[in-house]
Amino acid sequence: MSLPPEQPPEPRIPLGHGATFAPRFASGDGPDYDNVLACIRCGLCLSVCPTYATDGVEVQSPRGRVALIRAWQEGRLELSPNLRDHMYHCLDCRACQTICPTGVRVGELVLGARAVAESQRRRGAVAGALAGFSLRWLLPHPDRLEASLVPLRLYQRLGLQRLVRGSGALRLLPGPLAEMEGLLPQLPGRPLRQELPEVVPTSGVRRYRVGFFLGCVMTLVFARSSRATVDVLTANACEVVTPKEQVCCGAPHTEEGEFEEVRALARRNIDVFESLGVDYIVADCAACGAQTKEYAHLLCDDPAYAERARAFSAKVRDISEFLVGIPLRRPLGAVPRQVAYHMPCHLAHAQKVREAPRQLLRLVPGLQLMKLNEDDWCCGSAGIYNISHAGRADKILARKMDNLRESRADTVVTGNPGCLLQLQAGVRGRGWATDVRHPMELLAESYRGGAGEQLPPLDGEKVRIDSGSPTD
């Protein structure tokens, strides 16, 4: 009697469909199926993913997230609260995109998946009201944003913050409130938007007319840093134009998959900056820079804005990227500090600007750059991740702080407000004296120490500014 032919075993990991398959939600803001298919499951990305390093499970890795999205698109998985949560566990740090050999854009795929999940979601009354309040009522309106911080400023001025922190009452606050309070730094007396003249002239002959994209958190919380950015620009032959009508870049809305809101904000910013006749648009917030560089892609199907969005995004530069591409005055005053540079994910991975800030810091006399291990590893801030996923964010921050301690730096610098907040909280929580600064603050401090000779553009950064169009 002959035995039946042996059947091949069922594959343990379903291989899924191929390029000819018609997937779900492959158009619009949903995940790009072709890019999903580009994942060859090599696992290289696992070594750089902070959530995989923290949790050690496949679904918390870039490869796992791509597999989930693919199964969902191919109908092998249905949207569930669990699947939605998995999409929000990603930090969108994009470290996986830097290392992926086949160009899988995992962070972007996850944002696309969030957009689909949100479009199919029936939020409860409270959650819906909160999202509507923050994303649609508050963030797009600078005046309302500024007014919303008045109670917090009073809370600090009246000494209540000292009382709350000193008495241990923080532990009595519900989770997210305690996290938010723990992140709150000393607020400036007034938002920079209210103080900064719309046009700040250069002290010498004008070479460039630069539009300043003043981010929401920068004006409200890190006014000193953005003031330093303006000072560095004007010290380098730039006239700085900061229109008061500009609005939020849309980064918070992107993280929540609210792409229509982002497009509305993008159109408003394009309208505002277009009329200014600026040579470049400079951001000192890595998240704003990354987001505004995306306007061209976001509005590519809008007949009225596609070309204008391309022109807008082509002018956007991170402040460090801009400065290394123009003839620079040499900073002269000594800034005797031992400095570690933490790379913001939205600068290093999203914009691919990695060396420019360090190139600038090396010019400062007396400043010693210290080695920071894993300098491009996320700090755990990631928008509101440190509030919504506080436990995991704390573990990710702990790894950063261990590296910072080993660097023996007395100052850590970084060019993104979320990272500044997170690192400040890390330093405060450990009782360290480490100073947390934006790179422009150290550069401005050095410029205040004297007027130097003019240097040619620095070399070495991938993204260079073209010869430009000096306005004078």
The footprint of ligand SF4 (CB under 6 A) covers: 39-45, 48-51, 62-63, 65-66, 90-96, 100, 102, 104, 106-107
282 forms beta bridges with: 212, 317
- Cβ proximity to ligand SF4: between 69 and 309 the closer is 69
Tokens of 190: 């007034």
Contacts of 161 (CB under 8 A, 6+ apart): 155, 181, 184
d(C-alpha 309, C-alpha 281), whole Å: 13
- Cβ proximity to ligand SF4: between 91 and 230 the closer is 91
- Cβ proximity to ligand SF4: between 293 and 329 the closer is 293
As measured in angstroms, the least distance from the Cβ of 10 to ligand SF4 is: 22
As measured in angstroms, the least distance from the Cβ of 384 to ligand SF4 is: 15
Q: Do residues 365 and 339 touch, judged by C-beta distance below 8 A? A: no
As measured in angstroms, the least distance from the Cβ of 44 to ligand SF4 is: 4
- Cβ proximity to ligand SF4: between 44 and 387 the closer is 44
CB atoms within 10 A of CB 140: 18
As measured in angstroms, the least distance from the Cβ of 60 to ligand SF4 is: 8
Phi, psi of 68 (to 5 degrees): -65, -45
As measured in angstroms, the least distance from the Cβ of 94 to ligand SF4 is: 5
344 DSSP assignment: P
Which helix (H) or strand (E) segment holds residue 401: the answer is helix 390-407
- Cβ proximity to ligand SF4: between 106 and 298 the closer is 106
d(C-alpha 414, C-alpha 428), whole Å: 17
- Cβ proximity to ligand SF4: between 353 and 396 the closer is 396
- Cβ proximity to ligand SF4: between 271 and 376 the closer is 376
CB atoms within 10 A of CB 457: 14
Where would I find the H helices in 408-469? 417-430, 439-447
- Cβ proximity to ligand SF4: between 210 and 378 the closer is 378
Phi, psi of 438 (to 5 degrees): -85, 145
As measured in angstroms, the least distance from the Cβ of 356 to ligand SF4 is: 22
- Cβ proximity to ligand SF4: between 104 and 266 the closer is 104
* CA 172 to each of CA 36, 164, 177, 378: distance values in angstroms, whole numbers, following the listed order: 44, 10, 10, 29
As measured in angstroms, the least distance from the Cβ of 434 to ligand SF4 is: 25
d(C-alpha 156, C-alpha 295), whole Å: 37
As measured in angstroms, the least distance from the Cβ of 12 to ligand SF4 is: 17
As measured in angstroms, the least distance from the Cβ of 68 to ligand SF4 is: 11
As measured in angstroms, the least distance from the Cβ of 246 to ligand SF4 is: 28
* CA 414 to each of CA 204, 234, 305, 376, 436: distance values in angstroms, whole numbers, following the listed order: 29, 21, 33, 11, 8
Q: What is the DSSP string of 153-222?
A: HHHHHTTHHHHHHHHTGGGGS-HHHHHHHHH--PPPSS-HHHHS-SEE--SS---EEEEEE--HHHHHT-
d(C-alpha 33, C-alpha 398), whole Å: 36
- Cβ proximity to ligand SF4: between 104 and 183 the closer is 104
